[in-house]
Structure 1
């Protein structure tokens, strides 16, 4: 069973694991081992994710174990709310075993609905090679290629936008 909830700090450690595992599961034809290690050398601390997500608007998708009912984070998305970066989608991750099941779309739809309620006029994202097609399917357009340096490795992506 899946449940979409607003981010809560009790899930920060789960988010850290989710993001790290999702990055390292990327097909090596898209990003090399060196690029993935630079992107996420090890899971960031729960404290890192708590600070990062508490300064934005974030949602989590939880899945419940059918046997004991334990909930784990299988997806997350967040959008910046501060003036200079308002409407910037900072992160979207789905656990490898839950990909291609509509979780990213549910998370994104929730974010877009919220953004429209907040009268945000444009969403932007630095999409990865993995997520570019997803964001195009949601109506995003390419503004330009983007490059981020992490641990001395340049990782290519796509800066995209969607007027609301």
Structure 2
């Protein structure tokens, strides 16, 4: 499992476990509600996540795929917090589709997304996947380009009557 130290914090990427479902739910909602980008308005953000979903929802969603949690351990208190998560679909029809990559706003732009992605890509290569794909938001598009993904087309997701623009991207492994 990849780890690195950042000042007095230890960061690790661990396989998803049910005990993280509640933290993932809270993290996802917080991440969405903290988005400040000209391409997403308040109504779209509410459609994206009105409130934290149940732990059961997140457990089912993440246990049907391969998922990892990013844990940050504070060196002073030794408290571990969920700072992010990533998952990739494993079923035949959606195999290799990165469904989620969310990093807590306080931890964005510090390499955690790339750290989680590297764990996912290593796993995908070991499984014999030939390609990964995702629908990247305006916020994550730059990271996916840095990681070697190529934009194939604009894409749109509809949630509660709101259209959320994104970018369908792929990467050959």
Q: TM-score range by the shorter chain?
A: over 0.9
1:59 partnered with 2:68: yes
Within the candidate set 84, 87, 90, 1:78 is matched to 87
Query: Does residue 135 of structure 2 align to residue 126 of structure 1?
Result: yes
In structure 1, what is the Cα distance between the partners aligned to 2:39 and 2:20?
Answer: 29
**When the two structures are superposed, what TM-score results if normalisation uses the length of structure 2?**
0.92
**Cα shift at 1:2:** 1.2
Question: Could you tell me which of 152, 160, 164 is aligned with 1:155?
Answer: 164
Q: Does 1:111 align with 2:120?
A: yes
Q: 1:89 aligns with which of 74, 78, 98?
A: 98
Aligned to 1:17: 26
Indicate conservation of the 8 Å contact 1:13/1:45, yes or no. yes
Q: Residues 57 and 81 of structure 1 are in contact (CA less than 8 Å); yes or no, is this contact kept in structure 2? A: yes
2:4 corresponds in structure 1 to none
Residues 14-72 of structure 1 deviation map (CA, whole Å, 9 limit, x = unaligned): 00011111111111413111111100111111100000000000011111234432211
- CA distance in 2: counterparts of 1:65 and 1:17, whole angstroms: 19
Corresponding residue number in structure 1 for 2:52: 43
Question: Matches of 2:59 and 2:151 in 1, distance apart?
Answer: 30
- Coordinate RMSD, CA, aligned: 0.9
The structure 1 segments of at least 4 consecutive aligned residues displaced by more than 6 Å after TM superposition are none
Q: Please, which runs of 5 or more residues in structure 2 have no aligned partner?
A: 1-9
Number of aligned pairs? 164
- Name the counterpart of 2:153: 144
